[in-house]
Amino acid sequence: MVRQKIEIKKIDNLTARQVTFSKRRKGLFKKARELSTLCDAEIALIVFSASGKLFDYSSSSMRQLIQRHDHQTEKCKLLRQQPLCIQGSDSHGVLSKKLMELSIELKQLEGENLQGLGLPSLMKLEKLVEGGISRIRKTKNERLDHEIKKLRTRELELMEELKKQKSSTRNAFDQGITPIANCNGSDTFLKLGLPYSNCN
């Protein structure tokens, strides 16, 4: 039987509302425990019923989690008050500036726009480029080693196959060869197939 989807609105019947609250609260607390266990998350859950009764769950100390929440909230408030905080209309300007800086840095890594750079900046850029080249070289060498190993393995497989083919061909050849005696009694040649003599 298919469960009917209920409309999410306040339940008018008081008894039905209390039963639903009890069932859903237990389900909610069970999910909180599972989330805490599976994901190693710190969870604090506080529920007040319509009658004002308190129900709570916490994965560790409730007091510590509330203090941590308050601390994080204070930090967010302070960040919002800072003038350089990325919010609203300011975010476009800050992001545009950051994008321009990254574009210039990328061009410099490609060897362009180096005229205005001083010696320390050029040395720093040189180190960055050298580091990138060494990482590229290392990755390339690893790929080459991998390819060489694959080719050597394939070579050994092919050589083994060739040996088997030669061996089977030799065996087949050996089994089908029969010496035929000459009319004068000497076996001077070989002939494939059944022995046959045309001597009278």
**pLDDT average, residue stretch 67-88:** 68
What is the percentage of the chain residues whose pLDDT exceeds 70? 78
Q: Which of 170, 169, 198, 168 is nearest to 183 (CA)?
A: 198
Look at 175 and 187; give whichever has higher pLDDT.
175
What is the Cα–Cα distance from 181 to 195, expressed in whole angstroms? 9
Q: Residue holding tokens 């994965």?
A: 59
What is the Cα–Cα distance from 58 to 45, expressed in whole angstroms? 6
Q: Does the global pTM surpass 0.75?
A: no
Highest mean pLDDT of the ranges 73-77, 87-91, 94-98: 94-98
Q: pLDDT tens, 24-68? A: 999 999 999 999 899 988 899 999 988 889 999 998 888 888 888
pLDDT at 19: 92
- Backbone angles phi and psi of 163, in degrees to 5: -60, -45
Long-range contacts of 9-17 (CB under 8 A, 24+ apart): 17/50
**pLDDT average, residue stretch 1-18:** 82
pLDDT at 86: 46
Look at 141 and 104; give whichever has higher pLDDT.
141
Q: 194 and 179 in contact (C-beta within 8 Å)?
A: no
Domain at 10-84, CATH homologous superfamily: Transcription factor, MADS-box (3.40.1810.10)
Q: Residue holding tokens 């080719």?
A: 151
pLDDT at 84: 47
Q: pLDDT tens, 128-179? A: 888 888 888 889 999 999 999 999 999 999 999 998 888 877 776 666 554 4
What is the Cα–Cα distance from 89 to 135, expressed in whole angstroms? 40
